[in-house]
């Protein structure tokens, strides 16, 4: 059947896309090939994900996103900063299938000092790269100490036998240290989601070109990559990535 024509030589879908672009939006098919959210949803269904370990949860925004997307399984969120942890804990208590812990994931057990910024979502163990010092929300606000655990010791305490877990990491440049601290426990996870940087936003941050082979060595293959930050010249700086255990 031919699609309805609303302009000569232009079908309804093309017209909708063009109208959306003029308004500053883009309409795309919701498929794993075109949408990171669709890729994650299909992965959850295909791999029967029933628990998500959310490392660097801040106030629980990612957990709320998953709930809105229809995920009903267990959530375990780790957040080291006191202020966002309070909001995270309230969300978790109201949910009933959500556990919140005030702890940072690292490559060693002990204590970490975090550099706190005006927007706590930008806080990191690493110092910010001064090249991006004018980024909104990045102004320094002090420092804060927090307990730290390796995931290869913490994960067995949190995950139940037979569960099929998914790992999300949002630690502002500290991803490599979290992955290294997961050790052999990383193989338990069906999928992995994290931010990847082409240019370092934080001092000593591991770049995209280094993270991809590191994850490949640990048995994870890219499933979906989505740009999330461009520089002033329109060049890619940072993207979200979903990886699946092969």
Q: Where are the domains of the chain?
A: 34-245
Q: What is the mean pLDDT of the chain?
A: 90
Write down the pLDDT at residue 188: 97
In this structure, whether the domain defined by 34-245 belongs to CATH 3.40.50.1370 is answered with: no
Residues of the chain with pLDDT under 50: 1-9
Write down the pLDDT at residue 26: 64
For residue 198, the 8-state DSSP code is S
Please give the model's pTM, rounded to 2 decimal places. Answer: 0.88
Write down the pLDDT at residue 20: 59
């Amino acid at each position: 059947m031919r699609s309805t024509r609303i302009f000569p030589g232009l079908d309804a879908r093309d017209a909708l896309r063009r109208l959306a672009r003029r308004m500053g939006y883009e309409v795309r098919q919701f498929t794993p090939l075109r949408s990171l959210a669709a890729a994650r949803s299909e992965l959850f269904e295909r791999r029967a994900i029933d628990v998500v370990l959310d490392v660097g949860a801040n106030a629980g925004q990612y957990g709320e996103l998953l709930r809105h997307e229809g995920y009903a399984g267990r959530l375990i969120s780790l957040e080291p900063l006191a202020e966002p942890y309070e909001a995270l804990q309230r969300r978790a208590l109201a949910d009933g299938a959500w556990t919140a812990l005030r702890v940072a994931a690292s490559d060693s057990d002990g204590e970490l000092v975090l550099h706190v910024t005006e927007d706590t979502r930008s806080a990191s163990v690493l110092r910010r790269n001064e090249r991006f010092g004018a980024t909104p929300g990045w102004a320094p606000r002090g420092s804060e100490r927090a307990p730290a655990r390796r995931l290869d010791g913490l994960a067995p305490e949190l995950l139940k036998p037979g569960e099929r877990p998914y790992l999300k990491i949002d630690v502002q440049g500290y991803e490599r240290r979290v992955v290294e601290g997961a050790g052999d426990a990383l193989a338990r996870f069906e999928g992995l989601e994290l931010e990847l940087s082409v240019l370092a936003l934080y001092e000593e941050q591991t770049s995209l070109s280094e993270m991809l082979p590191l994850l490949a060595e640990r048995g994870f293959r890219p499933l979906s990559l989505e740009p999330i930050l461009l520089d002033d010249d329109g060049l890619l700086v940072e993207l979200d990535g979903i990886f699946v255990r092969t």
